[in-house]
Amino acid sequence: MIAKKFQLELYRFADKKPKHGQEILHFSRMAMYDVAAVPAMAKAEYRWFGKDEKGYTGEEILYDPADDPSPPEGCVLELTLSGMSFRDADLWCLLEDVDNMLEEADHE
């Protein structure tokens, strides 16, 4: 039996962010448990968050790519991951790429 290598592109959130609506596999470090990486499925969603000189105001508006691209007054666009937090150093890949890789492995 010959071992086959599969490649999967991973991105750091600091370098590239997923697009709105993409399903991803998010790898985060769990320092408190000394675990190298914990994968989790998530859906990338962008939201407008109200922000002023004191910080966040509590206002939150769901982003719609079909809407006017200019931000609502006093808001910043930020990525959310199905309610999970992430750090710039965390890694991610498209869930579709993982599915394709597994499909290819099934047909070997």
Q: Is the pLDDT of residue 1 over 60?
A: no
Give the C-alpha distances (Å, rounded to integers) separating 97 from 81, 94, 101.
Answer: 18, 5, 6
Copy the structure tokens of residue 37. 């990486």
Q: What is the mean pLDDT of the chain?
A: 86
pLDDT at 72: 85
- The pLDDT of 4-30, averaged and rounded, is 89
pLDDT at 24: 96
Q: Tell whether pTM > 0.85.
A: no
pLDDT at 3: 66
Give the C-alpha distances (Å, rounded to integers) separating 45 from 5, 13, 19, 62, 63.
Answer: 32, 14, 8, 8, 8
Q: Is the pLDDT of residue 33 over 70?
A: no
Q: What is the DSSP letter of 18?
A: P
pLDDT at 70: 81
